Amino acid sequence: MLTHAQVWSAIDRLAARAGLSASGLARRAGLDPTTFNKSKRVTAQGRARWPSTESIAKALAATATSLETFVGLVQPNGGGAATPAVPLLGFAEAGAGGYFDDGGFPAGEGWDEIAFPAVNDEHAYALEVSGQSMEPAYRDGDVIIVSPSAPIRRGDRVVVRTRDGEVMAKELKRRTAKSIELKSLNMAHPDRTLAATDVLWIARILWASQ
Residues 71-128: pLDDT tens digits?
888 765 544 445 567 788 888 788 777 788 877 888 877 787 776 655 667 788 888 8
Query: Is the pLDDT at 67 greater than 80, yes or no?
Result: yes
Residues of the chain with CATH 1.10.260: 4-77
Buried b (16+ CB within 10 A) or exposed e, 95-124: eeeebbeeebbbeeeeebbbbbeebebebb
From 2.10.109.10, 3.40.50.450, 2.40.170.20, 2.60.120.260, which CATH number describes the 85-208 domain?
A: 2.10.109.10
Residues of the chain with CATH 2.10.109.10: 85-208
Residues 179-188: pLDDT tens digits?
999 999 988 8
Is CATH 2.160.20 the classification given to domain 4-77? Answer: no
